[in-house]
């Protein structure tokens, strides 16, 4: 989307790599991403991006009270953002072991195969 982003080319490679796999995004990451688009560009771009994501084959995973509680527990014990804690909690709840991210904070989780930052 943002060709000037430092991770643009690697992100394209990662998307090609996972093209034939089930791909999920948490509702929290969806919200953060649309908000970043809005702050970097404008409402129209953010709105178009939201529509693009909703029409794609990504499955949006919505948090529930159990995932939220686990996120709070992770947040107390880990030095990472609450959103990242919610991602880890969702992955555990749904038995997902691969994560596309350029956030090196996820390297500390042994059971997560990180695709993006020094990953596959």
pTM of model > 0.85: no
If you search the block for the tokens 């084959």, which residue do you land on?
A: 57
Question: Residue 89 above 90 pLDDT?
Answer: yes
- What DSSP state is assigned to residue 119? -
- What DSSP state is assigned to residue 118? S
If you search the block for the tokens 């690697």, which residue do you land on?
A: 10
If you search the block for the tokens 């930052």, which residue do you land on?
A: 117
Reduce the DSSP state of residue 57 to 3 states and report it. Answer: coil
Question: Residue 117 above 60 pLDDT?
Answer: no
């Amino acid at each position: 989307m943002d060709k000037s982003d430092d991770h643009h080319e690697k992100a394209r490679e990662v998307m090609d790599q996972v093209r034939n796999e089930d791909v999920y995004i948490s509702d929290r990451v969806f919200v953060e991403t649309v908000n970043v688009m809005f702050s970097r560009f404008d409402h129209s771009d953010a709105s178009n991006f939201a529509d693009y994501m909703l029409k794609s084959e990504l499955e949006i995973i919505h948090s529930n009270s159990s995932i939220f509680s686990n996120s709070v527990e992770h947040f107390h014990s880990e030095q990472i953002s609450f959103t990242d804690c919610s991602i880890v909690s969702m992955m555990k709840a749904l038995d997902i072991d691969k994560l596309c991210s350029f956030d090196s904070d996820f390297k500390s989780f042994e059971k997560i195969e990180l695709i993006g930052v020094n990953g596959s």
